[in-house]
Chains A and B, each alone.
Chain A
């Protein structure tokens, strides 16, 4: 069956709402408006305004209410329109949801799922385009997911809801319209939220990517294959906790790695990955690990500038060539 990433997310929400009365969805314009990215379109009609709950413009308030509802026995799914606006709620997420289990000596836990859009590529400029998922991946107590495929968009919510701790699910804005085949049987999308996945096998270099970067990494790998360079592409899927063994395993095979991250380089998730490769596979590396990240500017509006600021397949190809000494 052909299905879009957006529809896959929606069907996962529908399943969750249908199968567990504790689950409800809340956020700005998730109901009448149909979701700012139309993910929840039609769910209000199917489940009613108690369970598909429009909130006022109060990110701090309703994310905090999600934490409270989770403490109170519900399984809330909170949608924050974009990661950019989640900064208004960061206190509740970081000082609250993430810390409560530990602070309470294990007495409390927060089974909350927070979904948000992330990333650039739609010319929305510096207050709507950033990739702050690395900031959340910094925080112990959170689990951070980045579905990059239709199957993961369909499959990750169920284990996220089953997780006893707060989970943040990042949906890259460039992926919503992505279409692909997905079988009807749950086995087509059932997945864990622990491990990275190899999306393409190769022996010359490992390209590590996630979210919106995965397709670009695969595009780069196709291009490299045309030059006789077989790249292995690893999709992180889970940004926290990182599946370090899978990354190390691949690099021990290929001896080279490039990390693709739409966040900035400085103090970033990509920096963390490079550090782990150094710690765990230093003597297996034949070249310094490369990185393709966003340029260190707030995301500009104009198309040529936005494109120049973002990781592109061409930049990934160039980074790989550099590692292989083929400039």
Chain B
């Protein structure tokens, strides 16, 4: 895929780059602090896939809804969830965005209409359909962003959700992050039809494909899909072709893919390719790059310090937030 000129001015281009750097540095720190035992449970890194969240998330409005998966740190960050709250959640602390109840896989921020990290593959899709149904019934213009991996396409929930959204003309943007592997299972080993857009279209859901390694392609394609939806066009589907550079989770020995394949995808890494284009177009100097990166690292360092210093929820609070405080 040849990457064309970047159609944005210097400021917006650098903002996209800055966001990708913030996600990358956040993820690297998460891996480091996992190694140090401060983060536990499952940790699914987004390294390599940053262009998708950085390019797509800003296309959604404040009033829109977002549903994500367990690989959602980048989406939460792009949604505006403070990095401190994200890191504190991964550390299991009371100041985390889910009060330490959720961890890496279950970041929530109701105020920002971020409806979570769902760790049941495909589990978010019906939720997104319901959120969109609510918007439709309330005659509200918001749309729902629903992120999921290509593995979810095999679940019944995908098919039922696509059908319902199309049948009822609901404003869901199904954002399929196709990183080619569901844990160790390559797409071609799990799907008879590997063209995911064809599946969407079979439900009369218009489908677009984006180069998920290119933040420009992600952004433009997402905008295009949204423009139709905001005009009252019902659901749409976008396949972002991307790749995860790291293991599926911290427990994955990566027996199922060739190092060479990983290296080849790294050549197409979203951050260095975009930086190189901006430099070639005179929209970025090395100093500016270093300054953006330094800012991202400083933000991450501060978040780690915040998370580390934050208290755990006292055990006496274990039972809170199971049901409403007030009896019905």
Residues from chain A with Cβ under 8 Å of B102 in the complex: 125-126, 301
Per-residue contact bits, chain A 300-315, to B (CB 8 Å; 1 contact, 0 not): 1111110011000000
Q: Determine whether the beta carbon of B41 is less than 8 Å from that of A305.
A: no
- Interface presence of B184 (CB below 8 A): yes
CB distance from A41 to the nearest CB of B (A): 8
Interface residue tally on A, bucketed by range: 35 or more
Residues from chain A with Cβ under 8 Å of B105 in the complex: 124-125, 127-128
Q: Which stretch (B76-84, B265-273, B287-295, B314-322) binds chain A? A: B314-322
> Contacts A123-B92, A128-B119 known; A295 to B319 CB distance under 8 Å?
yes
Residues from chain B with Cβ under 8 Å of A88 in the complex: 120, 155-157
Question: Which of B120, B154, B253, B312 touches A304 (beta carbons < 8 Å)?
Answer: B312
Residues 183 to 232 of chain B near chain A (Cβ within 8 Å) = 183-185, 189-191
> Contacts A33-B185, A301-B92 known; A296 to B319 CB distance under 8 Å?
yes
CB distance from B67 to the nearest CB of A (A): 14
Q: Which stretch (A9-17, A55-63, A152-160, A226-234) binds chain B? A: A55-63
CB distance from B189 to the nearest CB of A (A): 6
Report the separation of the CA atoms of residues A84 and B123 in the bound assembly, to the nearest whole angstrom: 12
> Contacts A295-B319, A309-B318 known; A301 to B101 CB distance under 8 Å?
yes
Question: Which of A28, A61, A127 touches B183 (beta carbons < 8 Å)?
Answer: A28
- Interface presence of A190 (CB below 8 A): no
Question: Which of B103, B151, B312, B322 touches A296 (beta carbons < 8 Å)?
Answer: B322
CB distance from A39 to the nearest CB of B (A): 13
- Interface presence of A298 (CB below 8 A): yes
- Interface presence of A85 (CB below 8 A): yes
Residues 1 to 48 of chain A near chain B (Cβ within 8 Å) = 28-29, 32-34, 36
Q: Determine whether the beta carbon of A34 is less than 8 Å from that of B185.
A: no
Q: Determine whether the beta carbon of A122 is less than 8 Å from that of B154.
A: no
Residues 299 to 328 of chain B near chain A (Cβ within 8 Å) = 312-313, 315, 318-319, 322
- Interface presence of B100 (CB below 8 A): yes
Q: Determine whether the beta carbon of A302 is less than 8 Å from that of B185.
A: no
Report the separation of the CA atoms of residues A305 and B98 in the bound assembly, to the nearest whole angstrom: 13
Please give me the residue from chain B that is nearest to A49 by CB atom: B189
- Interface presence of B137 (CB below 8 A): no
> Contacts A125-B106, A300-B101, A303-B40 known; A29 to B184 CB distance under 8 Å?
yes
CB distance from A221 to the nearest CB of B (A): 25
Question: Which of B154, B185, B318 touches A308 (beta carbons < 8 Å)?
Answer: B318
Q: Determine whether the beta carbon of B119 is less than 8 Å from that of A36.
A: no
Question: Which of A127, A296, A302 touches B313 (beta carbons < 8 Å)?
Answer: A302
Q: Determine whether the beta carbon of B156 is less than 8 Å from that of A60.
A: yes
Per-residue contact bits, chain A 95-106, to B (CB 8 Å; 1 contact, 0 not): 000000000000
Q: List the count of A-B residue pairs having beta carbons below 8 Å apart.
A: 128
Q: Determine whether the beta carbon of A297 is less than 8 Å from that of B322.
A: yes
- Interface presence of A262 (CB below 8 A): no
Please give me the residue from chain A that is nearest to B42 by CB atom: A124
Residues from chain B with Cβ under 8 Å of A85 in the complex: 120-121
CB distance from B115 to the nearest CB of A (A): 14
Q: Determine whether the beta carbon of A56 is less than 8 Å from that of B101.
A: no
Q: Determine whether the beta carbon of A126 is less than 8 Å from that of B106.
A: yes
> Contacts A125-B102, A125-B106, A126-B106 known; A308 to B315 CB distance under 8 Å?
yes
> Contacts A124-B42, A127-B119, A297-B319 known; A32 to B100 CB distance under 8 Å?
no
> Contacts A32-B256, A57-B182, A85-B120 known; A305 to B318 CB distance under 8 Å?
yes
Residues from chain A with Cβ under 8 Å of B185 in the complex: 28-29, 32-33, 54, 56-57
Most interface-central of A59, A126, A127, A304 (chain B CB within 10 A): A127
CB distance from A4 to the nearest CB of B (A): 16
Q: Determine whether the beta carbon of A125 is less than 8 Å from that of B41.
A: yes
Q: Determine whether the beta carbon of A300 is less than 8 Å from that of B318.
A: yes
- Interface presence of B122 (CB below 8 A): yes
Report the separation of the CA atoms of residues A127 and B108 in the bound assembly, to the nearest whole angstrom: 14
Most interface-central of A56, A59, A125 (chain B CB within 10 A): A125
- Interface presence of B118 (CB below 8 A): yes
Report the separation of the CA atoms of residues A33 and B182 in the bound assembly, to the nearest whole angstrom: 10
- Interface presence of B264 (CB below 8 A): no
Question: Which of A61, A295, A301 touches B41 (beta carbons < 8 Å)?
Answer: A301
- Interface presence of B176 (CB below 8 A): no
Report the separation of the CA atoms of residues A96 and B105 in the bound assembly, to the nearest whole angstrom: 32
CB distance from B264 to the nearest CB of A (A): 20
Residues from chain B with Cβ under 8 Å of A122 in the complex: 40-41
CB distance from A217 to the nearest CB of B (A): 22
Per-residue contact bits, chain B 18-31, to A (CB 8 Å; 1 contact, 0 not): 00000000000000
Report the separation of the CA atoms of residues A60 and B122 in the bound assembly, to the nearest whole angstrom: 12
CB distance from A236 to the nearest CB of B (A): 27
Question: Which of B41, B119, B155, B255 touches A58 (beta carbons < 8 Å)?
Answer: B155
Report the separation of the CA atoms of residues A123 and B39 in the bound assembly, to the nearest whole angstrom: 9
Residues from chain B with Cβ under 8 Å of A126 in the complex: 101-102, 106
Report the separation of the CA atoms of residues A161 and B184 in the bound assembly, to the nearest whole angstrom: 28
> Contacts A33-B183, A125-B119 known; A57 to B101 CB distance under 8 Å?
no
CB distance from B287 to the nearest CB of A (A): 41
In the assembled complex, 6 residue pairs joining A and B whose CB atoms fall closer than 8 Å, in A order, are A29-B184, A32-B189, A57-B122, A123-B40, A125-B101, A127-B118
Residues of A at the B interface (CB closer than 8 Å) are 28-29, 32-34, 36, 54-61, 84-85, 88, 122-128, 295-298, 300-305, 308-309
The 9 A-B residue pairs whose C-beta atoms are closest, nearest first, are A33-B184, A302-B92, A301-B103, A56-B154, A56-B190, A302-B100, A123-B41, A123-B40, A127-B119
Known: A122-B41, A126-B101, A305-B318. 20 other contacts (CB 8 A): A32-B184, A33-B185, A36-B183, A54-B189, A55-B190, A56-B185, A88-B156, A123-B41, A125-B103, A125-B105, A125-B106, A127-B118, A297-B322, A300-B100, A300-B101, A301-B41, A301-B103, A302-B93, A303-B312, A309-B318
